[in-house]
């Protein structure tokens, strides 16, 4: 009876019907609180589960950067003397020494399959030519030869962008530059032969001009 009296006192009523009603309300309220607490716990657990993978994702090391693409190697515009393994075309057995300098230059052009050839002094002056623009060839390419020679001393260079071979010979104390227009570089045998033939022509007619 003491417990019942205490409950009556707690709910502030002595009427049994009112007491039962208040008790039911209290039970419903208590169940609601428990349910709310359980739901809140579920929501917190779900959010925690979603955040965990995100946190792990952030801690993953960054992927290694892709290796840079290899740089494209540009083809050289100027080639030095060709490699020895290049097979030389057969050089015709033509004697380049003719009765005149102009005829000898034509023979030099024919022997090596050239479109044209110009011989120039170091200061860019024309000595002899079979080309249409000898002054331009002499001035431009003798200067280019000397610039290339400063970088690496070679007797022959092939300027691929212009399809022109540049070579040099010695005549006395002077250096002569040959400007040979022909597609493709010359083989070592051709370089040696054209330099020898050019030297023959220059020596022959240079000596003749001195006598005259």
> What pLDDT score does 116 carry?
98
> What pLDDT score does 83 carry?
47
> What pLDDT score does 31 carry?
58
- pTM, full prediction: 0.60
> What pLDDT score does 49 carry?
56
> What pLDDT score does 185 carry?
95
> What pLDDT score does 120 carry?
97
Question: What is the chain's mean pLDDT, rounded?
Answer: 78
Phi, psi of 120 (to 5 degrees): -130, 150
Q: Which residues contact 108 (CB under 8 A, 6 or more apart)?
A: 96, 114, 117, 130, 194, 197, 198, 201
Closest CA to 186 of 86, 78, 85: 86
> What pLDDT score does 130 carry?
97
| Sheet hosting strand 164-171, strand order edge to edge | 78-79, 156-159, 164-171, 174-181, 116-120, 126-129
Phi, psi of 157 (to 5 degrees): -140, 145
- Residue that is written with structure tokens 């250096």 in the block: 175
Q: What are the residue ranges of helices labelled H in the chain?
A: 2-11, 16-59, 101-111, 134-151, 188-211
Burial class (CB in 10 A: 0-12, 13-18, 19+), 210: exposed
- pLDDT, mean of residues 61-74: 49
Poorest-pLDDT segment among 81-85, 106-110, 115-119, 188-192:
81-85
> What pLDDT score does 173 carry?
84
- pLDDT, mean of residues 93-100: 95
Name the pLDDT band for 150 (thresholds 50, 70, 90).
very high
Q: What are the residue ranges of helices labelled H in 12-86?
A: 16-59
| Domain ranges for the chain | 2-59, 78-211
What is the CATH class of 78-211? alpha beta
More confident residue, 212 or 112: 112
Poorest-pLDDT segment among 39-43, 107-111, 142-146, 204-208:
39-43
Name the pLDDT band for 68 (thresholds 50, 70, 90).
very low
Name the pLDDT band for 79 (thresholds 50, 70, 90).
low
């Amino acid at each position: 009876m003491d417990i019942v009296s205490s409950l009556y006192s707690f709910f502030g009523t002595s009427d049994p019907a009112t007491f039962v009603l208040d008790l039911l309300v209290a039970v419903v309220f208590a169940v609601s609180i428990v349910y709310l607490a359980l739901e809140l716990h579920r929501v917190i657990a779900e959010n925690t589960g979603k955040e965990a993978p995100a946190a792990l994702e952030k801690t993953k090391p960054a992927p290694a950067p892709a290796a840079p693409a290899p740089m494209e190697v540009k083809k050289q515009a100027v080639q030095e003397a060709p490699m020895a393994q290049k097979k030389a075309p057969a050089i015709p057995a033509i004697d380049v020494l003719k009765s005149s300098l102009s005829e000898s230059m034509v023979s030099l052009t024919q022997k090596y399959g050239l479109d044209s050839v110009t011989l120039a002094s170091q200061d860019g002056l024309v000595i002899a030519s079979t080309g249409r623009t000898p002054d331009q060839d002499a001035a431009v390419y003798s200067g280019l030869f000397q610039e290339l020679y400063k970088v690496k001393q070679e007797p022959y260079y092939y300027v691929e962008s212009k399809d022109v071979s540049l070579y040099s010979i010695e005549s006395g104390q002077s250096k002569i530059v040959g400007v040979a227009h022909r597609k493709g570089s010359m083989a070592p045998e051709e370089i040696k032969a054209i330099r020898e033939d050019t030297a023959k022509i220059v020596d022959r007619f240079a000596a003749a001009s001195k006598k005259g």
